Amino acid sequence: MTTVLVVDDEPQILRALQINLHAHGYTVVPAPNGTTALAAAQTQAIDVVVLDLGLPDMDGLDVIAGLRGWTEVPIIVLSARHGSHDKVEALDAGADDYVTKPFGLDELLARLRAATRRSGTQTAEPRVETAEFTVDLANKQVFRHGEAVRMTPTEWSVLELLVRNPGRLVSQQQILTEVWGPAYAKETHYLRVYMAQLRRKLENDPANPAHLLTEAGMGYRFAP
């Protein structure tokens, strides 16, 4: 099943795309603005993004840049602007395709197929493994030495964010804003508690973690 993140600020278009894409077998994750779109991309497995450039809260180009900062997921831009300058900007920012409104649903579907066909070969597996534990992103399950490990919602959110950025340093701020919300960006104590719990559940030697690493003053890192 292919999951499409659809970003559009007009509710009726969002709804229409949602219905039509769903009817063609896609799982749709709707987002009415850039902020929720970026948040959704971090926490869910997205196969392709359909992005309307005209958003209320931030520039569409910044959404592209935000996504391209850490993921190669195909991005198809929708826009009412026909100017070549706009197309060039979006494509150079990292978009894969640019479709001008009005567009036929057939065409969008074909471009979706083209985009997923390309990335499909290099399939990002929804499963991350280490020597000690396995994280099944799709099913939200964690195994350690073959045995299922129970996670609380918060534990899972933190773990998922780290595992979705393997090898990448994730700042405390980023974890806190993604998991608890922007108002909690300073509550670093939460993180210490939950990192300790995750390590106790997943690491062989919680005091000397092999995969859930802390970089003092910088953030945390998941080492596969």
Partner DNA sequence: GGCAATCTTGACGGCTTCCTGACAGCGCGC
Partner DNA sequence: GCGCGCTGTCAGGAAGCCGTCAAGATTGCC
Residue 171 touching DNA (CB under 7 A):
no
Could you tell which of its own copies, DNA, none binds residue 192, using a CB distance below 5 to 8 A set by kind? Answer: DNA
**Stretch near DNA under the rule CB under 7 A, chosen from 8-16, 17-25, 109-117, 200-208:** 200-208
Interface pick for its own copies out of 80, 182, 215, 224 (rule CB under 8 A): 215
Rounded to whole angstroms, the Cα distance separating 22 from 3 reads 10
Q: What are the distances in angstroms from CA 217 to CA 146, 163, 188, 207, 220? A: 34, 20, 11, 18, 9
Q: How far is the CB of 36 from DNA (least distance, A)?
A: 20
Strand, coil or helix: what is 127? strand
Region 73-102 residues binding its own copies, contact defined as CB under 8 A: 84-85, 87-88, 91-92, 94-98
Residue 201 touching its own copies (CB under 8 A):
no
Interface pick for DNA out of 105, 187, 223, 224 (rule CB under 7 A): 187
Q: What are the distances in angstroms from CA 129 to CA 4, 76, 143? A: 25, 31, 9
Residue 169 touching DNA (CB under 7 A):
no
Return the beta strands (E) in 131-209 as ranges.
Answer: 133-136, 141-144, 147-149, 169-171
**Stretch near DNA under the rule CB under 7 A, chosen from 1-9, 31-39, 78-86, 184-192:** 184-192
- Non-local (6+) Cβ contacts of 133 within 8 A are 142, 143, 144, 145, 149, 202, 211
Residue 61 touching its own copies (CB under 8 A):
no
The residues that bridge with 77 in the sheet, in sequence order, are 51, 98
Q: How far is the CB of 32 from its own copies (least distance, A)?
A: 26
- Other beta carbons less than 10 A from residue 76's beta carbon: 20
Residues that bind DNA (CB under 7 A): 150, 152-155, 172, 180, 187-193, 195-196, 199-200, 206-207, 214-218
